[in-house]
Structure 1
């Protein structure tokens, strides 16, 4: 199923699709955003014609400030979480440059590595926000620093001459247009170069809808809807819901205030009162917070659909929400990009996945990965397989990624368990990543994610990290929620969490593996966990920060047990 030439002949290039929308539906809404005094004045609307005018203005400005680009130069942008991101990316692409979007929580060392790896020529920063320049070491880099004008300047673009983009699909399909990077939760962030083909896989949505009717695809449920995103534009899901969703899915995207992407219940109520919201894309922690508030739980249940991404959603919360709205999970990675996920026939399987066969793939059994330890519940890794004709298709982004040009299979490191849907078809429940499988020094394996999930159910636990690769037993570091230790000593709080959560994990986990009290640590207030913008613990950084405490814990265990091998 590699070829789509007989089925799809429409426009596929990102910037030309934007121009096409401005030509055909100039007065339709592209995005709605909160300006100054939005609580009293309401939200502002940007039409497709205004959007393209602004893009043309920025593209001309880029040439004036930086000169003409001859080699698809890399230009980075970091600013407040506002609509300027939506102007910068296509304007850079239209003026034959590619855009680098650094994550808002990237470290100085991580950014330095990214700038070198992408040969970044220019660092664009919002003229009204210079706070991070010194902190990130931008003046010490080789990149030219260039302030970027205000959002009001971008929107004051009536009468701007068009900026011509002359390339055809055949000329530009492999041309890089956006560089995103991995989160760095397990090491230094890695740049992922995404090209026109990678993004154009979303243009086959209508074809996939027809092929898989009446079951349908997840992306199909978004078409024509007004969606609210709480994903900041500094990461992939954020720029996708802000820009790609209106371009490819015909949505209208509604944005929160730039400093409110976590979205408190009071802000959520105000946004829904000022906009006709039908769907929502959000990280699980935001959904859970809104669900637990009695004033916003009914609002969540009134939505047509909710898509969560980046992490797992609390099972009890999801089981309730799925009975009132279309609750779905979107899973992907920066490297593999767009995946067509078929909707579940049983709404109670909201947390499972069925990948469309057009994106060639297979599930490969991984022996010894199940919790039972006897092979009866082994997990399966999702592996993408190159289409038979060897060419990338517009049904799956993975083969447009140049890092995979010399391989025929891509192991995602995502582990799943099979689940039966209505009618007997198989869906897949995501369980963990191969990175979460750790081996002790006596060769016993354990699933760190499985243990973390159980400990996170404790009401006082905010974040948890389980490690122990090459050790005799696992270690656990627990970061309590704010206020969890009031009226208790640290030892009392730790003992309570150990007895009510860690001990339960001991009972439920594999064979003879046990977590002793000595290797369970409480995070220090002066050393909070480093987490990504998706709310995921940056494992390597936390282990580094607590290296001394971990060694002391194992020394304490050795003393308590008298075991010289600890």
Structure 2
């Protein structure tokens, strides 16, 4: 996971961390029920209406607690329910309700991405022995198709959120202690599928408390933590544009309840767009924004003039503009489904594109070869048992002592910045040329990320002597030659930033077919292996046509 956060109002640390009592050992349903009792009118969620000019639907702690109680009884009333149940939904706060209701009734909730290929979701259902899928909205058709693939599968539509909230229901008790419930499997998520078939990952209540544990992260003199409690102030609204089935969406949702804060989302039935971000920012004084990097690029390239008055005033050009024209803090969130977000410190504003790992609770980095500039991010168990909470991966995989992430970083070479690291992709991304040279494609791909004519770019070259690039246009009707001419100046600039053997020749550019879009994981990242395979004949054809080995 690599996403970005902007705190537009220059927010400092949201919590002083003086009182760590209870943090990391609280059970989510009990926290929500307690909040419903002590602060019932606090707005936990705001959902933009289809026409954002008409405002937002707001959901208080009391309303969501009532919805959880109602759905706990509703779920228990369903006949033939498997131990593991699944939920595939549009992007609305029913995700939260289903997650907490499933915890209360003791049924792990599998959250397949609605964007998964059907065989991937059916594999997850079969692998977790799940025979009942709940759904909402336009996900119905997908569930009907799944029913035809998975023997004995039941599919059930859930009530709408207003019905969940407004139907009278008595309190559904959840009286387990932390020790009794911490190792109960609460939720089953899955890897993104960007490096292969999605795999189920089992989240216990202890794992779900990981964002709350961040409150206990040791302070570093002169450093600013980028934990969730530092990003978003208590009782303040923040825009969360990441999907609720994804690690970032899950943890920011959990954080909202633990904090408590106010999570703002776009219209549930529509994918978030740059224009929606602008319209939301015009109407709500946001304390922070959580978006994937390519969404930041869209917002600040296409809507820069519109959004500047509201956020004060990423490809590199985006980030440079933000730090040079605003008082916003800009930092990256970096992690994975298995490790959660790594603990880091905010880098200097001049080095916003780098990361600084927390010196106590952050991961290690290991050079991948003696002469390499690349280092792999590695997590190991800490010797201090009081810091065990900071290693979520070992709660998920208790039988291991080391987790090699396959994520690569490089050390900043500026004097005095040796503790800063730049993300360079994954071990799986590295392209091995037939002349034994290696290419990291991420530099060029990231340079083109914000190009207004492109939806995606993918470098290829495995087992050849030269690299080429596959371009995915935003406009499906643009002619290939016209797109290449439009993108070539940016590609020339990108070529100047990489070694000679990694540079792209103009005659090794392929434009994708609109009928075959790039294959993407649920988080929106391109699945390199599958997309390259889809265009294997075109790739080999261009090498033959150009006489390149």
TM-score, normalised by the number of residues in structure 2: 0.87
Compute the displacement of 1:493 (Å): 4.0
Match of 1:153 in 2: 163
SS at match of 2:366: strand
What root-mean-square deviation, in Å, do the aligned CA atoms of Structure 1 and Structure 2 show? 2.9
Within the alignment, does 1:467 sit opposite 2:460 as a pair?
A: yes
Could you tell me which of 495, 506, 527 is aligned with 2:516?
Answer: 527
1:415 aligned residue: 408
Which segments of 5 or more consecutive residues in structure 1 lack a partner in the other structure?
A: 1-5, 304-312, 369-374
Question: Equivalent of 2:388, from 370, 393, 403?
Answer: 393
Q: For 1:89-488, what aligned pairs fall within 5 Å after superposition?
A: 89-126=99-136, 130-136=140-146, 140-158=150-168, 160-208=169-217, 211-212=219-220, 215-218=223-226, 219=228, 220-224=230-234, 225-241=236-252, 243-265=253-275, 267-292=276-301, 293-299=303-309, 301-302=311-312, 313-323=314-324, 324=326, 325-344=328-347, 346-359=348-361, 361-367=363-369, 375=371, 378-388=373-383, 393-402=388-397, 405-419=398-412, 426-456=419-449, 460-482=453-475, 485=478
How has the CA–CA distance of structure 1 residues 13 and 246 changed in structure 2, closer, same or farther, with 3 Å as cutoff? same
Out of 88, 104, 113, the position equivalent to 1:78 is 88
Q: Deviations along 1:399-433, whole A, 9 cap, x unmatched?
A: 2112xx22221111121122379976722221221
Residue by residue over 1:338-385, the C-alpha shift from the partner in whole angstroms, topping out at 9 and shown as x without a partner, is 3222222x22222222222342531111227xxxxxx4x712211111
* Count of matched residue positions in the alignment of Structure 1 and Structure 2: 524
> CA–CA distance in 2 between the matches of 1:505 and 1:273?
35
C-alpha contact (below 8 Å) 1:186/1:540 kept by paired residues: yes
SS in structure 1 at match of 2:37: helix
In 2: Cα distance, 1:463 partner to 1:178 partner:
32
* 1:544 alignment partner, one of 513, 533, 538: 533
- What pairs with 1:483-498 in structure 2 (closer than 5 Å)? 485=478, 489-491=479-481, 493-494=483-484, 497=487
Q: Which residue of 1 aligns with 2:37?
A: 23
Q: Relative to 1, partners in 2 of residues 1:235 and 1:201: Cα closer, same or farther, differing over 3 Å?
A: closer
Instruction: Please give the alpha-carbon distance, in whole angstroms, between the structure 2 residues aligned to 1:290 and 1:95.
Output: 41
What secondary structure, in the 3-state scheme, does the structure 1 residue paired with 2:78 have? helix
Task: Determine if contact 2:116/2:522 at 8 Å carries over to the other structure.
Answer: no
Q: 1:300 to 1:182 in 2, by over 3 A?
A: farther
For the structure 1 residues 240 and 418, does the alpha-carbon distance in structure 2 shift closer, same or farther, using more than 3 Å as the test?
same
Q: The residue matched to 1:331 in structure 2 has which SS?
A: strand
Q: Secondary structure at the match of 1:554?
A: helix
Deviates more, 1:252-261 or 1:327-336: 252-261
TM-score by length of 1: 0.84
Give the distance between the partners of 2:114 and 2:309, measured in 1 at CA: 29
CA distance in 1, matches of 2:494, 2:288: 36
Q: Provide the rounded CA distance (Å) in 2 between the counterparts of 1:354 and 1:418.
A: 10
Q: Are 1:50 and 1:157, in contact at CA under 8 Å, matched by a contact in 2?
A: no
**Distance in 2 (alpha carbons) for counterparts of 1:412 and 1:128:** 35
Contact persistence 1:421–1:427 (CA under 8 A): no
What is the alpha-carbon distance in structure 1 between the residues aligned to residue 305 and residue 213 of structure 2? 39
* CA spacing shift, 1:508–1:428, aligned 2, 3 Å: closer
**Does structure 2 conserve the Cα–Cα contact (< 8 Å) formed by 1:182 and 1:334?**
yes
* Deviation per residue, 1:193-213 (Å, 9 max, x gap): 1111112122233332x6236
Match of 1:310 in 2: none
Using the TM superposition, give the Cα deviation of residue 216 of structure 1 relative to its aligned residue in structure 2, in angstroms: 2.7
Structure 2 gaps of 5+ residues are: 1-18
- CA gap 1:330/1:455 in 2 versus in 1, 3 angstroms: closer
